[in-house]
């Protein structure tokens, strides 16, 4: 069950204060909805987060692996790792191979905040690492990108980027059968890694006329 393929929508958005990372909750096995409360956004450090798409087992291993390496870096350097360094480290891990098929069957977003501001990087299973102002990974990403392309601005505020993540996830959940069952959203700023409460997500969605399923 841990090695099931997951259809997914994950999102990373750079804003004036840092970044927003978001995902929905559904995990699938083909046409079967296997889980409705799957974690796809992981805290790596106070200033770095990770979103995951792909095999659940591989994704969970990557999150644990990266968290441990970032902690070792802090112990050795007595300073937090930059977001670019975390993305490069993750890229190198992916490139070396491993996972269920001899490589990690995942698509990742590494995002966070450091002395140079907010950053998000898209990483593929081959180790490619590409920075951008906004990123979506997973089966629902084409639908999310339509909303992100239409609404993103380079000076977008933290508040507006949370709302944009909700809009983009909602578009994906409406059209991608492998995405659904609620949302997880986190912010990473100079104040650290903060999870947006489910009550706050539902309140914001309601104001925008969006119906978000409550987690079971």
Is 150 part of any domain?
yes
Q: What is the dihedral of CA 170, 172, 175, 179, to 10 degrees?
A: -100
8 is catalytic: yes
Is 162 part of any domain?
yes
Is 143 part of any domain?
yes
Kindly calculate the radius of gyration of the chain based on its CA atoms and give it in whole angstroms. Answer: 16
> CB count, 10 Å around CB of 162?
21
pLDDT for residue 216: 59
Reading the block at residue 5, the tokens are 């393929």
In this structure, of 2-6, 102-106, 110-114, 138-142, the range with the lowest mean pLDDT score is: 2-6
Instruction: Please give the tally of structural domains in the chain.
Output: 1
pLDDT in tens, 41-76: 999 999 999 999 988 889 999 999 999 999 999 999
pLDDT in tens, 16-25: 999 999 999 8
Question: Which residues fall within 8 angstroms of residue 10, CB to CB, at 6 or more apart?
Answer: 21, 22, 23, 40, 41, 51, 52, 53, 107, 109, 136, 137, 138, 141
The domain that holds 57 is classified in CATH as 3.60.20.10
| Residue 167: domain span | 5-207
| Rounded percentage of the chain residues whose pLDDT exceeds 70 | 96
Is 173 part of any domain?
yes
Is 214 part of any domain?
no
Q: Which of 8, 10, 51, 82 is catalytic?
A: 8
Is 144 part of any domain?
yes
pTM greater than 0.85: yes
Is 212 part of any domain?
no
């Amino acid at each position: 069950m841990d090695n099931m393929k997951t259809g997914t929508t994950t999102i990373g958005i750079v804003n004036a204060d840092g970044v927003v990372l978001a995902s929905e909750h559904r995990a699938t096995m083909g046409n079967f909805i296997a889980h409705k409360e799957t974690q796809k956004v992981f805290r790596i450090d106070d200033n770095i987060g990770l979103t995951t798409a792909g095999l659940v087992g591989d994704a969970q291993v990557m999150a644990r692996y990266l968290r441990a390496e970032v902690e070792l870096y802090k112990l050795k350097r007595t300073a937090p790792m930059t977001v670019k360094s975390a993305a490069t480290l993750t890229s190198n891990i992916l490139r070396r191979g491993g996972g269920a098929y001899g490589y990690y069957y995942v698509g990742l977003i590494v995002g966070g905040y450091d002395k140079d501001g907010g950053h998000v990087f898209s990483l593929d299973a081959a180790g490619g690492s590409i920075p951008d102002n906004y990123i979506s990974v997973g089966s629902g990403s084409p639908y999310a990108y339509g909303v992100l392309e239409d609404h993103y601005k380079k000076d977008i505020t933290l508040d507006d980027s949370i709302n944009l993540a909700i809009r983009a996830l909602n578009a994906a959940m409406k059209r991608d059968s492998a995405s659904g069952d609620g949302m997880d959203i986190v912010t990473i700023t100079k104040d650290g890694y903060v999870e947006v409460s489910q009550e706050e997500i539902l309140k914001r969605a309601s104001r925008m006329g969006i119906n978000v399923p409550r987690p079971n």
